[in-house]
Amino acid sequence: MSSLVEIQELIHKKYGLDPATLDPHASLREAGVDSLTLVEFLFTVEDHYGISVPEKYSDIDSVAALAAAVDELRAAQTTA
């Protein structure tokens, strides 16, 4: 199951970015989430799912891309 909706809820709760107005494919930086704020949000996502997002995902810039990465990491966790 995609984590998109859950991540949209997390970002709404933490930064007030409403899923109804934030296009999941839009650039988070352009929406005002700068690089360090995004790192802070990645920590929240990692804590929420009990996962660790590796370096190679550091160029993630949209909610959809983040959700896809989380799905991939969780799937790897299940199969491992």
Binding positions for another protein, rule: CB under 8 A: 14-17, 32-33, 36-37, 39-40, 43, 47
For another protein, which is the closer residue by CB, 36 or 80? 36
Neighbours of 7 (CB within 10 A): 23
For another protein, which is the closer residue by CB, 13 or 25? 13
Q: How far is CA 22 from the centre of its chain?
A: 13
Helices (H), the chain: 4-15, 35-49, 63-79
What is the closest distance, in whole angstroms, from the C-beta atom of residue 12 to another protein in the complex? Answer: 9
For another protein, which is the closer residue by CB, 14 or 75? 14
Look-up: residue for tokens 């989430």?
A: 33
